[in-house]
Amino acid sequence: MKENTHDFLKAVQEELPEVTVLRREEERLIYAHGCYPREYKWLLQGPYKVLPEAILMPGSTDEVSRIMALSQEYSVGIIPFGGGSGIVGGSIAENHEVMLDIKNLKEFEINLVNCTAVGGAGLTGADFENMLNEAGYTCGQYPQSFQSAVLGGMVATRAIGTFSTKYGKMDDMVNSLEVVLPNGHVLNTHKTPKASTGPELDQLFLGSEGVYGIVTKVEMKIYPVAEKRYFEAFTFNRTEDGLEAIRQFVQNNVHPAVVRLYDEEESVPKMEKYGFEKGHVFLVIGYEGLEKQVDLEREYVHHYCALNGGVPKGPKPGYDWFHSRFSTKKMLDHDAMKGGTADAIEVAAPWDCIADVWREMRKALEPMCESVDCHFSHVYHTGASVYVIFHAQTGGDDYDGEKRYMECLDTAIRTSLKYGGNVSHHHGSGKAKAEYLPLEHGEAGIEVMQKIKDALDPKGLVNKGVLGL
């Protein structure tokens, strides 16, 4: 351990005796990786190369603030760590950093007049939602990693859940934030619904993956638990027909909570399971809200689906999706397989090129993979996102699996950019996708991001290398 890190940890223990400090090798190994597919391969390849020096577990904003000030004084690199479910290498301690685990920040306060609730950044999505449900409310955020991702991590990556067409993405859900800056100063963004006092500072920290500071509290918008929830399925001749139906109802301001369209290949097991038309595609729609609102939304969704050849298939397949929505077993099994690799690449594009992005990404990945599954599950007024889930098996060892992963990632992202898509819709960039960011933001965009970084963290100590900064 370097002398400055040793002195920093000593100062933390002297000044903040309540803060838990973990230093044993097995503890450091647990914090050395998240869920980035290459990290699975590194674990399988032998002794792990990049361990953090230690893990600190503060229990309050004051403690986070003091730790950050000390880290600047001793020039020690810090990486914030939430639920560890990030899949883009956003917390790799390759510069011998100290991890700052924020999971002990768990306060909860609800304001029913404003329809907001403040959660500590360490509350998991599931904990936060359960507390809201006890009061008869919801925030509508159900990512697949609901049980492990925490509020701070979801802010840092701009996460999204399956009910996004109604409730939006983290960037739409947050009302205000408390953030500890790299120098230890505490910033509270305004709680008013709108303001005209300069740029919206929440947006600077949403998606910043820790590089500009540590999120310690999150004020979320909340809603009464829905009076009615209903799921159903449709089939279409082609992916393009399903996309057109969705575009039409969303642009007419009809927002069912869940919209999931599977392409021809990903639809196959579902069509076989239910005995639906071979070669056609499968759409799940989920509605929730006031009873009459749900009924009206259903009426309009049926109208636009029928205009594009959609055939209603009843509620059962929709409810089956709902009950199995947290399962990602196939992908994780493939990552753990010798010589295998898998990932879900999620990109967004405007409506006028989303079908090209989907088609070309699928075409480019197929020769390198055993299977490619594609679906569209987050849709907006001006465009949509597509998940391209690849499973590859090289037949070789875990170095071959890692190499294939890098080839697939590179191919997927470059193809998305070429046809009008972006680098990432909601998983973030971490270190995995950092090199592609200049292709999306341009030189001037990266210059702005770097200058903000230099001003807030002149020594470059907080999550160095993430977002390419």
Ligand X SMILES: Cc1cc2nc3c(=O)[nH]c(=O)nc-3n(C[C@H](O)[C@H](O)[C@H](O)COP(=O)(O)OP(=O)(O)OC[C@H]3O[C@@H](n4cnc5c(N)ncnc54)[C@H](O)[C@@H]3O)c2cc1C
* Contacts to ligand X by CB under 6 A: 34-35, 79-87, 90-91, 102, 121, 143-145, 148-150, 152-154, 156-157, 159-160, 209-210, 214-215, 328, 426-428, 430, 463, 466
Nearer CB in complex with ligand X: 82/318 = 82
Report the DSSP beta bridge partners of residue 223: 138
What is the set of active-site residues?
387
State both tokens at 154.
Answer: 């979801």
Shortest reach from residue 202's CB to ligand X, in Å:
13
* Strand bridging mode 98-101 / 78-81: parallel
Report the DSSP beta bridge partners of residue 344: 389
**φ and ψ at 390, to 5 degrees?**
-110, 145
* Strand bridging mode 281-289 / 258-262: antiparallel
CA 139/CA 159 separation, integer angstroms: 13
Distance of CA 244 to the CA centre of its chain: 26
Nearer CB in complex with ligand X: 102/305 = 102
CA 469/CA 453 separation, integer angstroms: 7
Length of the chain: 469
* Strand bridging mode 214-221 / 116-120: antiparallel
Shortest reach from residue 431's CB to ligand X, in Å:
9
Shortest reach from residue 35's CB to ligand X, in Å:
4
State both tokens at 180.
Answer: 């500890």
Nearer CB in complex with ligand X: 310/428 = 428
Give the residue numbers of the binding site: 209-215
Nearer CB in complex with ligand X: 334/427 = 427
Please name the residue that has the structure tokens 């390849």.
45
The C-alpha angle with vertex 168 and arms to 115 and 105, in degrees rounded to 5, equals 60
Distance of CA 146 to the CA centre of its chain: 10
The DSSP result for 215-244, as a single string, is: EEEEEEE-EEPPSEEEEEEEEESSHHHHHH
Nearer CB in complex with ligand X: 122/401 = 122
CA 117/CA 294 separation, integer angstroms: 25
What's the chain's Rg over C-alpha atoms? 23
Shortest reach from residue 279's CB to ligand X, in Å:
28
Nearer CB in complex with ligand X: 160/364 = 160
Shortest reach from residue 144's CB to ligand X, in Å:
3
Nearer CB in complex with ligand X: 150/259 = 150
**Strands (DSSP E) along 362-467, which ranges?**
371-379, 383-393
13 Rama sector, left if φ>0, alpha if ψ -120 to 50, beta otherwise: alpha
CA separation, residue 144 to residues 137, 165, 427 (Å): 20, 15, 12
Shortest reach from residue 104's CB to ligand X, in Å:
12
Residue in the shown chain whose Cβ atom is closest to ligand X:
153
Burial state string for 347-356 with b = 16 or more CB within 10 A and e = fewer than 16: bbbebeebbe
Nearer CB in complex with ligand X: 214/245 = 214
State both tokens at 378.
Answer: 């987050």
Shortest reach from residue 224's CB to ligand X, in Å:
24
Give the residue numbers of the binding site for FAD: 209-215
Please name the residue that has the structure tokens 């007024």.
381
Shortest reach from residue 157's CB to ligand X, in Å:
4
Query: One-letter amino acid identity for 279?
Result: G
